[in-house]
Copies of this chain bind each other. A is one copy, B any other.
Amino acid sequence: MDNFTFWSPTLFEFGKGSEEKTGELIRLFGGSKVLVHFGGGSVKRNGVLARVEDSLCKAGLPFVELGGVKPNPRSGLVYEGIALCRKENVDFILAVGGGSVIDSAKAIAIGVPYTGDFWDFYSGKAAVKSSLPIGTVLTIAAAGSEGSAGSVITQEETNLKRAAGNECMRPKFSVLNPAFTCTLPAYQTACGITDIMAHVCERYFTNTRHVETTDRLCEAVLKAVIEEAPKVLANPNDYEARANILWAGTIAHNDLCGVGRTQDWNSHDIEHELSGLYDVAHGAGLSVIMPAWMQHVYQHDIPRFAQFAVRVWGCDMHFDDPEATAKEGIARFRAFLTAIGMPATFSDIGAKAEDIPILVKNLGVTEEKPRAGFMQLAPHDVEAIYRLAL
């Protein structure tokens, strides 16, 4: 096991009616003037925004609104948010929505106290040093951004999707009401489930040995999601199944599943080029890329993929042919994704084979600078993974 620091100080307020505590939670963490950041009209239509703002009013908290965050959140709105916060002397950012809204809120929160261009943090030009405090009211189980220290933004002009992260960006609190996720359409629900599973898999496939406790936690989260996913797709209003998935999504990405080991994250980055270029849902892109990545790399560590097959998917172990078990696990994962309505190929998401060189180039991988991870990936590996997804 590797040395690690685990620090997940976010307060999670979970359950029915938990949004009523939003105002007092902002007070608890020192906020006095709030930016309420959200996406399209859904939080207005379903009344979530009104209930949250009601809680702010009850706590005597003045606020300004900034809506309009789109999936794969864009830099343009971040600049707008930063300007608004400065003008209005905002000292607390509240995200009401899913991962895109939260990531956009985080970008605004680190941009406000920074004198330069916030994109510096995402392009790698500057390291994040401070942030306004952030809180979230989550409306989709997916990104895990409600408990994570990271954010992913797409630059408007270039379509480059890049990540930034720092401990100070971790939300002070997150309000998780599973009922808010019941109105999500099946496709978005399944995209979220795929993202959750990917967050665990990126940590599960490691070269670090003797990390049994973390392994078992990873398997636990995956098994819970595999058990609960069909329930919410069969009955979107299944509060209990929604609740289990919502909590699994948070745990999948606060790094509980990743401590003490090297992690991969190549599937995520390879996917980011897809959703950056074609503006497809992140979960949909992951559904196409992650099994292709598995297919490309499984021979690097057949016992680990066999463990994945047996412990997560309940496959029988072929003791005389572990590779067969390893492949069966990947096949089960593919079949599961298909069963929950997720895409499997480039054409399913409108991606094009002829763009593969652009995707590889955007990823910035070169022969001299291959990507680290579970298996080192040179440009030809990345190309092979994209081709396996055709």
Interface residues of A (CB under 8 A from B): 1-18, 178, 209-217, 219-221, 223-224, 227-228, 240-241, 243-245, 247-248, 251, 256, 259-260
Bound CA–CA A4/B6 (angstroms):
22
Bound CA–CA A219/B223 (angstroms):
11
CB distance from A241 to the nearest CB of B (A): 7
Q: Tell me if B216 and A1 are in contact (CB < 8 A).
A: no
Q: Tell me if A240 and B210 are in contact (CB < 8 A).
A: yes
Measured between beta carbons, the chain B residues less than 8 angstroms from A216 are 219-221, 223-224
CB distance from A176 to the nearest CB of B (A): 9
Bound CA–CA A209/B238 (angstroms):
13
Give the 5 A-B residue pairs with the shortest CB-CB distance, closest first: A3-B15, A210-B240, A9-B9, A216-B220, A220-B220
Bound CA–CA A240/B209 (angstroms):
9
CB distance from A314 to the nearest CB of B (A): 12
Q: If the complex has contacts A14-B260, A216-B224, are A210 and B243 also in contact, measured as CB distance less than 8 A?
A: yes
Measured between beta carbons, the chain B residues less than 8 angstroms from A13 are 5
CB distance from A182 to the nearest CB of B (A): 14
Bound CA–CA A210/B245 (angstroms):
11
Q: Tell me if B210 and A221 are in contact (CB < 8 A).
A: no
Measured between beta carbons, the chain B residues less than 8 angstroms from A214 are 247
Closest-by-CB residue of B relative to A215 is B224
Measured between beta carbons, the chain B residues less than 8 angstroms from A220 are 213, 216-217, 219-220
Closest-by-CB residue of B relative to A3 is B15
CB distance from A191 to the nearest CB of B (A): 19
Q: Tell me if B244 and A210 are in contact (CB < 8 A).
A: yes
CB distance from A281 to the nearest CB of B (A): 23
Within 8 Å by CB of A244, from B10, B213, B219, B241, lies B213
Q: Tell me if A240 and B15 are in contact (CB < 8 A).
A: no
Q: Tell me if A243 and B6 are in contact (CB < 8 A).
A: no
CB distance from A192 to the nearest CB of B (A): 15
Q: Tell me if A6 and B2 are in contact (CB < 8 A).
A: no
Q: Tell me if A6 and B12 are in contact (CB < 8 A).
A: yes
Q: If the complex has contacts A224-B213, A224-B216, are A17 and B3 also in contact, measured as CB distance less than 8 A?
A: yes
Closest-by-CB residue of B relative to A17 is B3
Bound CA–CA A219/B311 (angstroms):
12
Bound CA–CA A18/B7 (angstroms):
14
Q: If the complex has contacts A212-B244, A216-B223, A244-B212, are A15 and B11 also in contact, measured as CB distance less than 8 A?
A: no
Bound CA–CA A240/B248 (angstroms):
27
Measured between beta carbons, the chain B residues less than 8 angstroms from A212 are 224, 227-228, 244
Q: If the complex has contacts A213-B224, A240-B209, A247-B213, are A5 and B14 also in contact, measured as CB distance less than 8 A?
A: yes
Q: Tell me if A1 and B240 are in contact (CB < 8 A).
A: yes
Q: Tell me if B260 and A213 are in contact (CB < 8 A).
A: no
Bound CA–CA A17/B5 (angstroms):
12
CB distance from A193 to the nearest CB of B (A): 13
CB distance from A388 to the nearest CB of B (A): 31
Closest-by-CB residue of B relative to A4 is B14
Bound CA–CA A256/B254 (angstroms):
12
Closest-by-CB residue of B relative to A250 is B6
**Cβ contacts A to B, 9 pairs, < 8 Å:** A3-B18, A9-B11, A14-B260, A210-B244, A212-B244, A213-B251, A214-B247, A220-B220, A256-B256
Q: If the complex has contacts A3-B17, A15-B1, are A247 and B259 also in contact, measured as CB distance less than 8 A?
A: yes
